[in-house]
Chain A
């Protein structure tokens, strides 16, 4: 098996290197072929690995590939841990990646950075696989940083655009803030356990829990809780949880395929995966679980609300991703790790689908992303419409769709949870269901159904556009013509072109993603209530809410029937109904409501002021401190007073001393007598 696992990881890496280093030589076709081949191999082998582990009963694989370093008794290694969780993640990552590779042929067709783009997304696939297959913290951190790096490169892919290079810098820095916690968390664990290996760390969880560390005078906490909270800060950075979520909306500056692959389906779920992978640690720290519950619930509800006021189609989907990541986080907090992972999987399919569908719309609209300029597209792009509708229904949790099962399981699990904060979380995520349906179908109706030209983008709405700090993706096409992407240039030359359905390289991935978006929910039984995650996830029996749910589980039909009687479905349907009312039936109402609740709208458009706070207080403060230290510390005190000052004072002193040598005998005689007197006084 060694060879198989190594091939899965290395095939995309080889593709990335070939396309990246020799892109000019092998050309566009060469680059796309070699990277798709690499990812295709990884996908095919991942299917085989999944089959072998889940159905073939292959034993858990936990081996070292090579030893990076041995020092002070600590082994730093690169190694793979492959069990059912890894196999599932490998399947999801390589499948979505393959779809995105194919889709890219169509989406990036006219981009001069074609080979570079393929190189990056293959490199990303390699890094993400390294992350999920890690059997130790060192490699986890390697993968963690590597996916962050590729995300940075891809957000700034169109590096001539100032907004894109602002967004990628922001993403990197915010993730580094998360890494700050992550490194401290790993250090806290290694200090006690003396190992970076997962299994060896899990074996010492009791000791970690009992080890008390003095935080400050008179207050002690368990080392485990400290480490888990620090690790979770890392997860908050990567999985964009409040308040480290600020980078994800801006990451939409990158091309749409990577929004689907990295900023929806895979990388942003790394934090969720990490917590689930380390469930033996987190499970032993209920305090951390409560923190996770509350952070997740806040993200799930408040980030969803922001989706209601966005006009950029990609940003609506982005805020939806933030909200759904919140749901996954809540599941982790409620000890329903399997439900969180289940939602991770279904979300990967339907959110990648929604992003790629949005990309298809954007191509058809000639890189127009403002939903107010869209409408009636369902007629001209039937495949995109149907697949987007499937994605939307899955997202809102329409009964029978994949998202229904995973989201329902999370909500029910939180309802059963007895941890502090669970009640609060339950209310927020329930309300979030309504909000999700509202913004999702607002988008569907505005893009596909409203009569074209219903909504003017001027007047009151323009005011909002100015308020939104980064609603400028399309603005650049107008304001700074030299910064246009080549696609946009091509399109602007033919403004009268009417929208039409996208080519097969775009629609086939949509169809292939739509299938699991509908069907993936059917595995709910084995995944949540069966033995799929046995031996992988650790859950305290006293808190095992999924086991409680499982007692009443009686098959798919029963689950759906049960769901129909619960509030989430009805909240979702009323959200859809309200969206229909506001955006199709009475399209002038949203404007009226916005005018009445101007301050609410202002708060939402400013995204609760996180960006402003970060820019003014944190970044501004640090720069001011740096300037102050530069001007006062380096220039004035050290150079001014000490260095140049001492040179001046020595010069001045020398001037004085020189005057003593006056040449007059009585001066010298006086000095001698004075000296003798002082000497005599000292002796006496």
Chain B
């Protein structure tokens, strides 16, 4: 019981923080970010406590709260932790205080509004992960857009208006189709059960005809592929990242990009299993194409932020590949890869931001040999780059390795029986990402850190203590997940198994056929 209260506290704390900010004195910034940091830190500690209390090997929700809200529509305030969202909530909570700490020097105007937006964003993201009612999920999903839109639009770079409009149009375009699908699912649940419901558990039990499933899946897929982002719906991401202030980039890459994959995990695939199976080859092809396309484009970019942005497209391709393998290894790998990418890309965007604050440049060509001037910066950048490349003992390896093994496991039966080579070829192509990932990341490292030292405006100062603490926290998390992933994946295993069962077990409708 008390855990459920704590979980509610975790969700609503940022809102309380955001409401308190206007009451603070106008003239000084320090109380504002101190408050925001305190809120985020308390939230993180509570989440860690919940993580420890979370029982492994148990199916279903833990620490759930369910309160009827709009009973006539079957909408309830229903939140809870399960193995699928546990690590993502932990990731979000971990990034919270780090983003506040990282924004202190970056955000210099409209400080109060910024931290209020950051807290609202945190609330919406956690809400999306925790929601167990489709309607609630959709509300949080859309609510995320507003603070992100403002963060890029107000504190962004020169072309911020183009980037925000593109970002909003892209996501709104996907959301409209998603809304139609959400409404249809609610009506279908009402028709099937005689009572209105948007509860995920009721929706999983729906037996929809294949054509209906297909249409719904297409609607969801559009929304989710845009968020991931997968090619060919990805071009909002590089623009949004380039224009966003670095705390915005961190949140965008660290958490927001996980929403699309989480959407597939939570609703797209298990709610519409037959249609999902039908479209798996297409989605898988898109995943592998994203891995390779993202990597090739990251290789030819000259803006450091764009390199990291395109690398995100490549890395999120692995998440999709893992989910679509329908293998335990692949699903576990996908969850791990989401968390891992969250940590690594957050770290890299922090580091690009730190460099930008010192030099006001982001083009690769103007830098070189920073290892000489900024050895601590170089050390952290190197560690993050190696994690991004997927070297063993980092979380990047854990995620990629499990995803690839899962993809091979999923592809193998059809291959051995001589039915289809397709999935196996895709899985093998995905391994190419291992080479390409090293190419673009080490190119970046080489240009930025090695060679004759140069930077606009002379030698930049090395990292401050605040910056070191931020990066050390991330690096510590990355190595923990790489050296000893068992305690973390152990807690998600049961949920992954249940999820796999939802996908693979024939529904009663099929059995009847």
Q: Can you list 20 A-B pairs with a CB-CB distance of less than 8 A?
A: A66-B484, A67-B486, A69-B485, A72-B409, A160-B452, A164-B450, A172-B438, A172-B442, A173-B438, A179-B434, A188-B408, A190-B408, A213-B415, A623-B299, A626-B299, A629-B296, A634-B297, A637-B232, A638-B234, A643-B235
Is A176's CB under 8 angstroms from B438's CB? yes
Is B299's CB under 8 angstroms from A68's CB? no
Complex interface: chain B residues within 8 A of A623 (CB): 299-300
Complex interface: chain B residues within 8 A of A633 (CB): 231-232, 293
A71 with B329, Cβ < 8 A, contacts A141-B392, A159-B449 known: yes
Interface string of A612-633 (1 = CB under 8 A from B): 0000000000110111011001
Q: Which of A68, A149, A176, A626 makes the CB contact (< 8 A) with B386?
A: A149
Interface string of A144-162 (1 = CB under 8 A from B): 0110010000001001101
**A63 part of interface (Cβ distance < 8 Å):** no
Cα A518 to Cα B490 with chains together (Å): 54
Cα A159 to Cα B328 with chains together (Å): 43
Interface majority SS (helix, strand, loop, mixed), chain B: helix
Complex interface: chain A residues within 8 A of B431 (CB): 180, 183-184
Q: Which of B329, B434, B483 makes the CB contact (< 8 A) with A72?
A: B329
**B166 part of interface (Cβ distance < 8 Å):** yes
Question: How many A-B pairs with Cβ below 8 Å?
Answer: 133
Complex interface: chain B residues within 8 A of A142 (CB): 392-393
Is A180's CB under 8 angstroms from B332's CB? no
Cα A188 to Cα B369 with chains together (Å): 41
Q: Which of A141, A187, A622 makes the CB contact (< 8 A) with B296?
A: A622
Would you give the shortest CB distance from B441 to chain A, in whole angstroms?
10
Cα A662 to Cα B446 with chains together (Å): 64
Cα A213 to Cα B412 with chains together (Å): 10
Complex interface: chain B residues within 8 A of A145 (CB): 391-392, 397
**B104 part of interface (Cβ distance < 8 Å):** no
**A602 part of interface (Cβ distance < 8 Å):** no
Q: A74-B329, A176-B434, A187-B405 are in contact. List 15 more A-B contacts (CB 8 A).
A: A69-B485, A159-B369, A159-B449, A160-B451, A162-B451, A166-B446, A169-B442, A169-B446, A177-B435, A180-B434, A187-B404, A190-B405, A622-B299, A626-B299, A630-B300
- Residues of chain B from 374 to 429 with CB closer than 8 A to chain A in the complex: 386, 391-393, 397-398, 402, 404-405, 408-409, 412, 415-416, 418, 421, 428
Complex interface: chain A residues within 8 A of B301 (CB): 630
**B432 part of interface (Cβ distance < 8 Å):** yes
Q: Which of A149, A166, A626, A634 makes the CB contact (< 8 A) with B391?
A: A149
Is B435's CB under 8 angstroms from A180's CB? yes
Is B235's CB under 8 angstroms from A634's CB? yes
A159 with B392, Cβ < 8 A, contacts A72-B328, A176-B438, A630-B300 known: no
Complex interface: chain B residues within 8 A of A634 (CB): 235, 238, 297
**B453 part of interface (Cβ distance < 8 Å):** yes
- Residues of chain A from 582 to 601 with CB closer than 8 A to chain B in the complex: none
Is B435's CB under 8 angstroms from A176's CB? yes
**B372 part of interface (Cβ distance < 8 Å):** yes
Is A146's CB under 8 angstroms from B296's CB? no
Would you give the shortest CB distance from B492 to chain A, in whole angstroms?
10
**A483 part of interface (Cβ distance < 8 Å):** yes
Lowest 7 A-B CB distances belong to which pairs? A626-B296, A165-B450, A626-B300, A72-B328, A159-B450, A142-B392, A187-B408
Cα A323 to Cα B507 with chains together (Å): 62
**B327 part of interface (Cβ distance < 8 Å):** yes
Is B166's CB under 8 angstroms from A643's CB? yes
Cα A59 to Cα B483 with chains together (Å): 29
Is B329's CB under 8 angstroms from A629's CB? no
Cα A247 to Cα B398 with chains together (Å): 27
Max chain A Cβ within 10 angstroms of own Cβ: one of B418, B451, B485, B490: B451
Cα A635 to Cα B393 with chains together (Å): 37
**A482 part of interface (Cβ distance < 8 Å):** yes
Q: Which of B397, B415, B485 makes the CB contact (< 8 A) with A214?
A: B415
A binding-site residues for B, Cβ under 8 Å: 66-72, 74, 141-142, 145-146, 149, 156, 159-160, 162, 164-166, 169, 172-173, 176-177, 179-180, 183-184, 187-188, 190-191, 211, 213-214, 216, 482-483, 622-623, 625-627, 629-630, 633-634, 637-639, 642-643, 647
Interface string of B175-186 (1 = CB under 8 A from A): 000000000000
Max chain A Cβ within 10 angstroms of own Cβ: one of B170, B235, B297: B235
Complex interface: chain A residues within 8 A of B232 (CB): 633, 637-638, 642
B binding-site residues for A, Cβ under 8 Å: 166, 169-170, 231-232, 234-235, 238, 293, 296-297, 299-301, 327-329, 332, 369, 371-372, 386, 391-393, 397-398, 402, 404-405, 408-409, 412, 415-416, 418, 421, 428, 431-432, 434-436, 438-439, 442-443, 446, 449-453, 483-486, 489-490, 493
Q: Which of B238, B328, B485 makes the CB contact (< 8 A) with A68?
A: B485
A482 with B450, Cβ < 8 A, contacts A177-B435, A626-B299 known: no
Is B300's CB under 8 angstroms from A627's CB? yes
A68 with B293, Cβ < 8 A, contacts A160-B453, A165-B446, A191-B408 known: no
Complex interface: chain B residues within 8 A of A629 (CB): 293, 296-297
Would you give the shortest CB distance from B215 to chain A, in whole angstroms?
22
Is A69's CB under 8 angstroms from B486's CB? yes
Chain A's closest residue to B238 (CB) is A634
Complex interface: chain A residues within 8 A of B452 (CB): 160, 162, 482-483
Cα A354 to Cα B308 with chains together (Å): 44
Complex interface: chain B residues within 8 A of A214 (CB): 415-416, 418, 421
Is B371's CB under 8 angstroms from A159's CB? yes
Complex interface: chain B residues within 8 A of A173 (CB): 435, 438-439, 442
Cα A156 to Cα B418 with chains together (Å): 47
Is B404's CB under 8 angstroms from A626's CB? no
Would you give the shortest CB distance from B408 to chain A, in whole angstroms?
5
Cα A367 to Cα B26 with chains together (Å): 64
Complex interface: chain B residues within 8 A of A72 (CB): 327-329, 409
Would you give the shortest CB distance from B297 to chain A, in whole angstroms?
5
Is A68's CB under 8 angstroms from B486's CB? yes
Cα A586 to Cα B249 with chains together (Å): 69
Complex interface: chain A residues within 8 A of B402 (CB): 69, 71
Would you give the shortest CB distance from B237 to chain A, in whole angstroms?
11
Is B435's CB under 8 angstroms from A626's CB? no
Complex interface: chain A residues within 8 A of B436 (CB): 622
Complex interface: chain B residues within 8 A of A211 (CB): 416
Chain A's closest residue to B296 (CB) is A626
Is B392's CB under 8 angstroms from A626's CB? no
Max chain B Cβ within 10 angstroms of own Cβ: one of A68, A71, A169, A211: A71
A159 with B451, Cβ < 8 A, contacts A146-B393, A183-B404, A187-B404 known: yes
Complex interface: chain A residues within 8 A of B486 (CB): 67-70
Complex interface: chain A residues within 8 A of B443 (CB): 169
Would you give the shortest CB distance from B230 to chain A, in whole angstroms?
12
Cα A267 to Cα B332 with chains together (Å): 33
Cα A180 to Cα B431 with chains together (Å): 6
Cα A643 to Cα B235 with chains together (Å): 9
Would you give the shortest CB distance from B447 to chain A, in whole angstroms?
9
